Amino acid sequence: MISTVQAVVVTALVLVGSFFLLVGTVGLLRFPNVYNRMHATSKAATLGASSILLATTAYYGPVGPGLTSLVGIVFLFFTAPTGSHVISRAAQKMGVPFVETADWPGTVPMRDDDADDD
C-alpha cells in the first residue's frame, strides 16, 4: 500500500518529468537549427526522463524496478551529454552553419537597411 506522502512525491516527479519532456519537444519543433534543437532535447530529456525514473524508484523502493531505474538514471547522465557532443561534432564536420539570429514564426524579419532609416 502506498502512503499519501509517497503518492505526492511520485505524482510531483511524474509531473516535473512530463513538463521537461514537453518543453524538450516544443524546443525540438521550434528551434531553427540542429545545434539549438540538440541542446533543447538533450537537457530536457535528461531532466524529464530522470524525474520519471526517480518517480519509479520512489514508488517501488530501492530494490527491483527501483534499482533498475537508478541504474537507468546513471546511464542516462553518462550517455546523453556524450551523444549530444557527437551529434554537434558531426553537424559541424558536415558543414551545418550556425544561425546567429532567429525570428519568431509570424513576425516580419527586420532587414539591415531598415535599421539605418533612423
Q: Which pLDDT value is given to residue 95?
A: 80
Q: Which pLDDT value is given to residue 88?
A: 85
pLDDT in tens, 69-80: 999 999 999 999
The 8 Å CB, 24+ separation contacts for 94-103 are: 96/33, 96/34, 96/35, 97/33, 98/33, 98/35, 99/32, 99/33, 99/35, 99/36, 102/31, 102/32, 102/36
Q: Tell me the one-letter amino acid at 55.
A: A
Helix (H) or strand (E) holding 84: helix 65-93
Q: Residue 117 pLDDT > 70, yes or no? A: no
pLDDT in tens, 26-58: 988 988 888 888 888 888 889 999 999 999 999
CB neighbour class for 76 (10 Å; exposed up to 12, middle 13-18, buried from 19): middle
Q: Residue 61 region, left (φ>0) first, then alpha (ψ -120 to 50), else beta?
A: left
